[in-house]
Structure 1
Amino acid sequence: MANGELTYDDFLQRLDIQDVLVDAGYHLNKRDGLRYPSYIRTDSNGTRIRGDKFIVTGGGKCCFQPPQQKLYNIISFIKSFPEKFAEHRNGVSPDRLVNLVCNRLLNHPIENRPICIIQPKQHSRPFSLQDYDIHHFDVNDRETHKRFYPYFKNRGIDIFTQRAFAGHFFLATKHRTDGLSYANLAFPLVLPKEPDKVVGLEERGRPKMDGSGSYKGKAEGSNSSEGLWIANFSGEPLHQAGGVAWFESGYDAMAFHQLHRDTFRDNPELSKKSVFVSTGGTPTDMQIRGMLSATPNVNHYLCFDNDSAGREFVNKFRLIAKSMHINPEQIREIPLMPCYKDWNDALLGKTSEEYLDSIKDAVIPLSAPLGTKGSTAGEEEVNEQSTIHR
């Protein structure tokens, strides 16, 4: 300790991870029959927020958020979840935030110095497709297909689906000033009013060797607020489309098409008149308004992710459509089985963690007596005593 200031070692020795969890808004879950204490959050109605739980490890110095096994001590927890603390401000460095939170918890006064906020770069270079080397998928040339293999293999998207969408994706390679170059799978973004002008790219990188995921984002300078990936199978102006299907990523749109391949094959007119749209993430007002303005009399099918954010997007879409006097009958949802987060997960048969967490209380152990039923809310209310083993 120098000049009365506390160090990270002081914080780790004098604070417990449970102190930090409580300060972050978590409550001890007395009904959880685990060996170690678990902490949960509740909403404004006192209802538990599913999937937001931390389990404290032995000694009380670390915790982890199941099903992940990554351990957090008080330092890494504050740095990983800064938004959970009152001292958090945009631009505050993680180390400064740790000092502010820990000193407050220890009732130790700290010098109140002005916060230095780094201003974001105000101007970025406008997007230009000329900055990239483009490699197209040619349905008549198998040699061009090979470079796309690693981008689609782990997604379960087969060669037939790739051929169906061949004109709507490519590989974009950008050369950096340091001599390095990198390639991404690119879904070109356009404006509904100018469908022939590329204003950005929805990008996906190659999966990592350990299978832990890959880069996803948009190319520098992309018009993310208005640009959409639009796969127009009809070749006609958008207002003549038979229907527009909305997704949060190009991968999801391709997965949806593959899952419903038989339907499209048996109804060729449906396939020819279909338009697939990706917002490349969170849908913006301008993306929705731009497409609705170009297709005011076309049916729109919402295929957003099957999570709380996706459901909010559906509500947002309907409100915008209502404000534009679009017939509500034209806005429809295509349901996804509750066990899947998105259409690509459905194609892969990958069950979502949110769904597993929501049904865990209804799962009956194999060793349970015949006729045993899953726990109910009423039974939980009766069982008030703590089941934590210390």
Structure 2
Amino acid sequence: MKEHQVDFKALKAKVGIDDIAFSLGYQIDRKAGLGRYIELVLPDAVGGRRDTIIVSHIYDKAQQTFFRRNGQRGDVISFIQENAHSFGISGRNNWDIISKVMAKFANQPIEDKAKQTYAQIGSVNKPFDPKLYHTEPILQNLDAAQYIFRQRNIKKETIQAFAPWIHRVKDTRFDSDYFNIGFPYVQPGSDKVEGYEIRGYGSFKRKATGTNSTTAAWIVDLSNGHNPQDIKIVYFAESAYDIMAFYQANKARLQADLDKSVFVSIGGTFSNLQVGSIMDYYANARAVDCFDNDVPGRIYGMRMVGVVEKIPLNIVQTDDAIRVSHNGQKHKLDPQKATLNNLRTFLHFKREYGVEKAPSAFKDWNDVVMNKPSSVILTKSKYEREDNLREKRMGGLKM
């Protein structure tokens, strides 16, 4: 994007200080309260605080400002300027860097010489062509990749554990120097890449053109010999970020069985052939539901059982329930609490299954490691309480 094309006002409506802060490793301090303000803390290596900012207007990115207790304050542009060298982006000057950072986080389309957009290219129904993508191992430039993972609070140690199954990816059809993160899709037992789950700055995500999401997935086999008969557990999640976050949040608890475990991202959409072929390949393994902690995620877990057990289930969501039909019998389940375990009351499981949903306040495991609860506790922050007290005092002086 050329500098004269940048509309900072429009970009500020899409890119918040919180977006930038999360990408730099800041975390919400829930002890300070959640209300009109949130307090974001940048931790250091020993558990202390490198920086603390208080962000206002958390639901209106265009109006967001931040301040520190020393009196410093500013908007998203000044916050990016403070951290201009922390994004792995080069430019002719600071304003050039700021414009590139904001454009990246806002997911502004980057045009190639033919003025094609990702949406136009992605709409062409063609098989995946690896020649369209320049790839390199993520460890070849881990520092640059960390800028993308950092916004999701995925730690360096986690990236390194999954590194053999992660690439840096650049679409050669676009005149851009930017690399995104690519999670290669393969079929179980195969090394042939059949597409990518792609993530970038901000909320940028998509699949590589022609990605096989029907029978392939992101499959991470952490076993030593990669013998499918030795695998005891297969963890399923809806995205690569989610399954990496699950690993990160539970590593100590999972440690004993890591060398017999496989971690899978289905890429957001559930395919019977995708899940079924994976569990057929890992025939001795227990399938574990790490899908999102919402109604669609609960249904995914139940569908997983039906697919693996090869039992036809009709599962639908209604206004007040998850309704499961099997052999002419209909069952009504609580949409807020039901899991695959509820199926045990009317189904016999031949294989073992587990449920590892994110804690109840969180939608998914990535939100857990980011400390971003989906249900905001509407307690006033200390800054909001001070504002209210100040308003009352000022009101008391009125005649």
Percent of paired sites with the same residue: 31
- Give the counterpart of 1:342 among 337, 340, 364: 364
- Equivalent residue number for residue 130 of structure 1: 131
Secondary structure of residue in 2 paired with 1:336: coil
Structure 1 runs (4+) deviating above 6 angstroms are: none
- Equivalent residue number for residue 183 of structure 2: 187
CA distance in structure 1 between the aligned counterparts of 2:366 and 2:128, rounded to whole angstroms = 29
Query: Contact 2:309–2:351 (CA<8 Å) still a contact in 1?
Result: no
- Give the counterpart of 1:196 among 191, 197, 201: 191
Partner letter of residue 207 of structure 2?
Answer: K
Query: Contact 1:168–1:231 (CA<8 Å) still a contact in 2?
Result: yes
Residues 288 and 264 of structure 1, relative CA distance in 2, 3 Å threshold: closer
Q: Could you say what the CA RMSD is over the residues aligned between the two structures, in angstroms?
A: 3.2
Residues 183 and 304 of structure 1, relative CA distance in 2, 3 Å threshold: same
Query: Contact 1:174–1:181 (CA<8 Å) still a contact in 2?
Result: no
CA distance in structure 2 between the aligned counterparts of 1:252 and 1:300, rounded to whole angstroms = 16
Query: Contact 1:241–1:275 (CA<8 Å) still a contact in 2?
Result: yes
Partner letter of residue 304 of structure 1?
Answer: F
Deviation at 1:219, TM superposition (A): 0.3
- Give the counterpart of 1:332 among 342, 354, 373: 354
Query: Contact 1:318–1:328 (CA<8 Å) still a contact in 2?
Result: no
CA distance in structure 2 between the aligned counterparts of 1:242 and 1:202, rounded to whole angstroms = 25
Deviation at 1:239, TM superposition (A): 3.5
Partner letter of residue 285 of structure 1?
Answer: N
- Equivalent residue number for residue 25 of structure 1: none
1:211-269 alpha-carbon deviations (Å, 9 max, x no partner): xxx2112100111222110000114133421210001111111111111222344x2xx
Residues 163 and 180 of structure 1, relative CA distance in 2, 3 Å threshold: closer
Query: Contact 1:136–1:170 (CA<8 Å) still a contact in 2?
Result: yes
TM-score normalized by structure 2? Answer: 0.53
TM-score normalized by structure 1? Answer: 0.54
The correspondence of residues 1-390 of structure 1 with structure 2, limited to 5 A, is 124-138=125-139, 144-176=141-173, 179-180=175-176, 182-192=178-188, 194-207=189-202, 214-234=203-223, 235-265=225-255, 267=256, 270-323=257-310, 327-352=349-374, 355-356=375-376
CA distance in structure 1 between the aligned counterparts of 2:276 and 2:298, rounded to whole angstroms = 18
Residues 123 and 69 of structure 1, relative CA distance in 2, 3 Å threshold: closer
Q: Structure 2 unaligned segments of length 5 or more: list them.
A: 1-57, 62-120, 313-347, 383-399
Query: Contact 2:357–2:364 (CA<8 Å) still a contact in 1?
Result: no
Which of these two proteins has the greater Rg computed from alpha carbons? 1
CA distance in structure 1 between the aligned counterparts of 2:122 and 2:241, rounded to whole angstroms = 31
- Equivalent residue number for residue 88 of structure 1: none
Residues 162 and 215 of structure 1, relative CA distance in 2, 3 Å threshold: same
Q: Which moved more, 1:233-242 or 1:244-253?
A: 233-242
Deviation at 1:322, TM superposition (A): 2.7
Deviation at 1:294, TM superposition (A): 1.3
